[in-house]
Structure 1
Amino acid sequence: MAIPDSFQYDAVVIGGGPAGLQAALTLGRVHRRTLLLDAGSYRNDPAHHMHNFLAHDGTPPAELRAAARTDLARYDTVTVRDTAAASVGRDGDGFRVVVGDQEVTSRGLVLATGLRDTLPAVPGLGGLFGDVVAHCPFCHGHELAGTRVAVLGDPGHVGGLMGPVAASVEGVDPERVVRLERAADGLRVLFDDGTVEEYGGMFVATALSQAAPFAEQLGLAMLPSGCVSVDAMGRTSVAGVHAAGDMAHVPELPMPMASVLTAAASGLVAGAAMAAYLL
């Protein structure tokens, strides 16, 4: 069935990170009228380089996004706007997206707005996050090879993963930390008893929350992780709304597999599934 002319777009993709860019590319390659909205903020903004991505290991995230934009420019049915969506809602058989003082309509939505990381309340932590402080050993562990590595709290799973990489892995009680400071070869931890320890880097667990309100506005089913519940094809609980990237995962996973590569892969799946929905 053809898409009704009353809708301006076949699909609106909200989010210009790897998941949204790939979803838009996938839709563009089958000539679907697609609008990509990019608010210009990304979960990996604190990171200078991305890792564990085949052929892009060590590439600055901005370079990958720029290359993806160049790819999208080759597809006439894809429009990219550097602006944020303000709200989303139903519009008959489709959806309405408020963008500034305008509204656009589409048959379907792909949400790729990501997550927000809330750090533990430790002085100095924020300025080091994404550099010598990280949350993923797969993304940032190798760079700490051969150094003393701290884990804020119980080392647990992270400690096990870093065991073969680091010279040593030590748990640090956050209640004893006065502040963190940058050191020449990593970071310095100042404790409440006056002692100071230096480490090559530190891993922390962050609290996750949706970076945008659209899942709530659409009434999407959520998971205990705070992420949107999707099936294997990226379909949410609302027909015509798909989700990709860190903001969503299947119920079988305890949390999203937070990496640039998996985000892009989920964007491809969500984009392809959206193309099928539009049939």
Structure 2
Amino acid sequence: MDEMDYDCLVIGGGPAGLTAAIYLTRFHLRLKVVDAGKSRASWIPCTHNHAGFPGGISGKELLQRMREQAQMYGASIETARVTRLDRIEGGFQAEWGGGCVTAKTVLLATGVTNRRPPMDEDLHDEALSKGLIRYCPICDGYEVTDKRVGVIGSGSHGVAEAVFLRGFTEDITLIAPDKAHDLALEDQEKLRQFGITCVDGPAHAVAATEACITIDTVEGHYTFDSVYPALGSDTHTELAEQVGAVISDTTECVVVDDHQRTSVPGFYAAGDVVIGLDQISHAMGEGGVAATTIRNDLAKERPIVREALQKNVG
């Protein structure tokens, strides 16, 4: 274990990675966190769904607090994107633009990226900051209670998200992102059953004010209080693939056991890169499980014993 630079390298500084970092440093393990700074949590202008913050907290502030907590216990955190990960004798070697380290174990917490709706990037970011675009109906469906909501999506996935949001408001419109809807009869029946309006695309967001966002479609302009893109996401599994970890053919996520172990010994994964409920609280839980598993697995190779600090006498 001593030949390696670190006991564990955490790749990704979102809720899962930073929770694991807090645990691992408090286990007195040598830890490095390399974070590309792209956590989806940083997009959240204010979440009221995270326990312990009744007044809400922004994603950026939450991540900053977690970073400070990990660093308080000795975590080394570097802003960079790991581009190469290799298995080597006794562990792993990671490389990025300005560095290269070795570690006995690796925790992958690289998450996913939501696919954005067709619109100007600056307009998207402005609308997101105002809550006019939302990506997580589980987190913030409550905030659109009885409001006008557009769902940009199609197929069974788009229909499922529209139906889920129907539990918060009766004013739901499902808009195809790039062409006319081609829905299965079962999905068409669901839309009729729940009274959800269906509009053909292509769709393009054209304007946003403080209170609403306007979507242009082939059937005219539609104005909403909030829009939910239901376009899926891309899971960041590249590094897992480089070391040969199993990726699910159906979910495109890293496959792990109940303790966040992947198919590769010493390689773990947690958070949205793993199939599950894409929530901050869930990611934190997986981060804690992964960190504890890493500590216990390392202890099987060599007992982790804390020696008392020597005091100078006389």
Please, what TM-score do these two structures have when normalized by structure 1? 0.87
Distance 1:142 1:109, change over 3 A: same
Aligned position for 2:258: 232
Give the drift of 1:110.
0.4
Q: Which moved more, 1:19-28 or 1:96-105?
A: 96-105
Aligned position for 2:73: 75
Q: Is the 8 A contact 1:209 1:227 kept in 2?
A: no
Q: Which moved more, 1:224-233 or 1:177-186?
A: 177-186
Give the structure with the larger strand fraction: 1
* 2:35 is the alignment partner of 1:15: no
Give the drift of 1:101.
4.4
**Comparing both chains, which one has the higher relative contact order based on Cα–Cα distances under 8 Å and sequence gaps of 6 or more?**
1
RMSD: 2.1
Rounded Cα–Cα distance in structure 2 between residues aligned with 1:46 and 1:71? 21
Aligned position for 1:259: 279
What is the SS of the residue equivalent to 2:43?
coil
Distance 1:213 1:183, change over 3 A: same
Give the structure with the larger helix fraction: 2
Q: Which runs of 5+ in 1 are unaligned?
A: 250-255
Give the drift of 1:24.
1.0
8, 13, 30: which one pairs with 1:33? Answer: 30
Please, what TM-score do these two structures have when normalized by structure 2? 0.78
The higher radius of gyration belongs to: 2
* 2:241 is the alignment partner of 1:219: no
What is the total number of aligned residue pairs between the two structures? 267
What is the SS of the residue equivalent to 1:44?
helix
Q: Is the 8 A contact 2:10 2:108 kept in 1?
A: yes
Rounded Cα–Cα distance in structure 2 between residues aligned with 1:178 and 1:79? 44
Rounded Cα–Cα distance in structure 2 between residues aligned with 1:178 and 1:156? 16
Q: Is the 8 A contact 2:16 2:109 kept in 1?
A: yes
179, 185, 188: which one pairs with 2:214? Answer: 188
Give the drift of 1:162.
2.2
* 2:168 is the alignment partner of 1:165: yes
Equivalence map 1:1-279=2 (5 Å): 4-56=1-53, 58-76=56-74, 78-120=75-117, 122-124=118-120, 126-127=124-125, 128-129=127-128, 131-154=131-154, 156-174=159-177, 175=179, 176-180=201-205, 181-193=207-219, 195-211=220-236, 213-223=238-248, 224-249=250-275, 256-279=276-299
Distance 1:123 1:73, change over 3 A: closer
Give the drift of 1:177.
3.8
Rounded Cα–Cα distance in structure 1 between residues aligned with 2:94 and 2:214? 47
Q: Is the 8 A contact 2:135 2:228 kept in 1?
A: yes
